[in-house]
Amino acid sequence: MDLTFNKNEDHNKILVSELRKKLAKVKLGGGKSRIEKHHAKGKLTARERIDYLLDSKKPSLEIAAFAGEGMYEEHGGCPCGGVVIKIGFISGKQCIVVANDATVKAGAWFPITVKKNLRAQEIAIENRLPIIYLVDSAGVYLPMQEEIFPDKEHFGRIFRNNAVMSSMGITQIAAVMGSCVAGGAYLPIMSDEAIIVDKTGSIFLAGSYLVKAAIGENVDNETLGGATTHSEISGVIDYKAKDDHDALDTIKNIVSKIGDFEKAGFNREQSSKPSEDPNEIYGILSKSRAEQYDMREIIKRLVDKSVFEEYKKGYGKTILTGYARIDGWAVGIVANQRILVKTKKGEMQFGGVIYSDSADKATRFIANCNQKKIPLVFLQDVTGFMVGSKSEQGGIIKDGAKMVNAVSNSVVPKFTIIIGNSYGAGNYAMCGKAYDPRLIVAWPSAALAVMSGNSAAKVLLQIETASLKKAGKKITKKEEEDLFNKIKTRYDMQISPYYAASRIWTDAIIDPLDTRSWISMGIEAANHAPIKKPFNLGVIQV
């Protein structure tokens, strides 16, 4: 291996090591002392509940572990968004599990908590996956209620989704394992079946203090909405459990009896490992965003037997398209190519940039995959579409629009892996979050923004210095450099994959070696949802 490979490998392994450290901190939720207090009440933590519920020998994926990272610091923070979400298997059936983390502000709902719960429901709806709610929450975080309560994508949308999923026949099971108050009380009751844990679980629209203030009645919380009240008097709850383990065992028993699902029928053969060593990804992927690398070499280390059947290999070379298998599943891959390439006309094309011919090729390939019912995998390392008079006169906007049209109207499931750059309209054309990928994840090397930090800082510096000069202020070369560095530092923080993950612009930041598992699990989930809608590009200019 050469020196460049070794430098790349060291850099990328350090990024993965930092990822693992951050994940370990996130998994502590509200901290060790709060976990101990939780245990003292005879309760399992959110993660312990999920671990007990899921089949231990089956794979699982955690969604939005970094939600809330670096946000709400003035309120004490909200690790993991105050809720843990995993896709896994219960009694052999793939499900999605949502568990409030009561070690974080007693499981109170921050704005990002709402967004994360809605993302879980979106995954359940798109893939027709059974969804399990493990409820232990103090309700809306009142100091931020105006950002949680009234809007379309706020708290009430969750209960609307409960009703929609029920009408779609998607199984919903809720276990009340702690507090379940106010509007949140509707969630377990709008589920198909509900369980409550004796002595620790409670459900009521208003707690004892509020009841006293509102109507003058003196009543304790257990009488008001405890397990006995709701399982023997009100009939609100279906099953009364003696403790957390008993409640989770009840869920396992219910899920074990769910009938088989109608399958989408995506093609799958026996899984094979890549022939090329996946660990070499660390050395192939460039340390610098300005350096080149061959995306084909990355693909060979992601796909079964390292076999990638390229479509239109000699045309539109800044995007690679082709067929492969990942963990046995047939996939169509659309990937940016960062190498400087030469066209048949002898022209050089910058790597990572989408040209008209590349957009045209990708559009045709996406249509082919839809025709053959093959899931699409997008590997992003894109700086955007090519600019300049030649590109504009050549119709780059039209060709880019065709590609965006194909991605938007695609009916097969799409999965997006952000490997490196994800800038501007390139993010859109390569199936960014706005284009409904079933799952979208980033490697630690990813960057999401309108443009790179350098480019953005230069533009913003020009605007700011022009404004200062207009106001009659002189700016020295040193002041200009300091201003540039200040702008770039702020912008670089915003293009970090952790900034994106904290806001759930991506579902996770993952070790590159976990990419195959994410895609395979994602397609297995998507196989629960047969495609009913035909592929139609609509009106496009040819």
β 61-63/83-90 pair status: antiparallel
User: How much is the average pLDDT of 47-57?
Assistant: 97
User: Above 90 in pLDDT, residue 204?
Assistant: no
Q: Dihedral (C-alpha) 447, 338, 371, 129: value to the nearest 10 degrees?
A: -30
Region 159-184: mean pLDDT is: 92
Q: Which residue has the higher pLDDT, 525 or 458?
A: 525
* Model pLDDT, residue 403: 95
Residue 435 pLDDT > 80: yes
Q: Which residues pair with 421 in a beta bridge?
A: 447
Q: Does the pLDDT value for residue 289 go beyond 90?
A: no
Of the candidates 232, 411, 383, 252, the residue with the CA atom closest to the CA atom of residue 318: 383
- Give dist(CA 229, CA 215) in Å, integer: 20
Per-residue pLDDT at 308 exceeds 90: yes
DSSP structural state of residue 339: S
Q: Which residues contact 521 (CB under 8 A, 6 or more apart)?
A: 59, 61, 87, 94
Banded pLDDT at 299 (limits 50, 70, 90): very high
pLDDT tens digits for range 455-470:
777 887 788 888 877 8
Q: Is the pLDDT of residue 209 over 80?
A: no
- Least trusted range by pLDDT, from 241-255, 461-475, 526-540: 461-475
Residue 453 has pLDDT above 80, yes or no: no
Give the DSSP per-residue string, 357-381: HHHHHHHHHHHHHHHHT--EEEEEE
Strand, helix or coil for residue 503: coil
Amino acid 481: pLDDT? 83
Please check the confidence at residue 541 and state whether its pLDDT lies above 80: no
pLDDT at 390: 78
* Predicted pLDDT at 478: 85
pLDDT in tens, 80-108: 999 999 999 999 999 999 999 999 999 99
* Residue 408, pLDDT above cutoff 80: yes
- Kindly give the residue spans of alpha helices, DSSP state H, lying in 374-514: 389-393, 396-409, 424-429, 453-470, 477-494, 497-502
Dist. CA 82–CA 136, nearest whole Å? 10
Give me the pLDDT at residue 1, please: 61
Does residue 386 register a pLDDT over 90? no
Report the pLDDT value the prediction gives residue 540, as an integer from 0 to 100.
67
Say what percent of the chain tops pLDDT 90. Answer: 73
**pLDDT tier, 480 (very low <50, low <70, confident <90, very high otherwise):** confident
State pLDDT tens for residues 215-225. 888 888 888 88
pTM for the predicted model, two decimal places: 0.94
Tell me, what's the pLDDT at 487?
A: 81
Residues in Cβ contact with 419 at an 8 Å cutoff, skipping those fewer than 6 apart = 285, 298, 379, 380, 381, 443, 445, 446, 512
- What is the predicted pLDDT for the residue at 332? 98
Greater model confidence, 221 or 42: 42
The strand pairing partners of 322, in sequence order, are 310, 333
Mean pLDDT lowest among 216-220, 253-257, 327-331, 426-430: 216-220
Per-residue pLDDT, averaged over 379-387, amounts to: 89
Average pLDDT, integer, range 242-249: 98
Q: How far is CA 37 from the centre of its chain?
A: 31
> Is pLDDT at 249 greater than 80 in this prediction?
yes
Average pLDDT over the chain, rounded to whole? 92
* β-sheet bridge partners, residue 135: 176
pLDDT tens, residue by residue, 338-355: 888 777 777 777 778 999
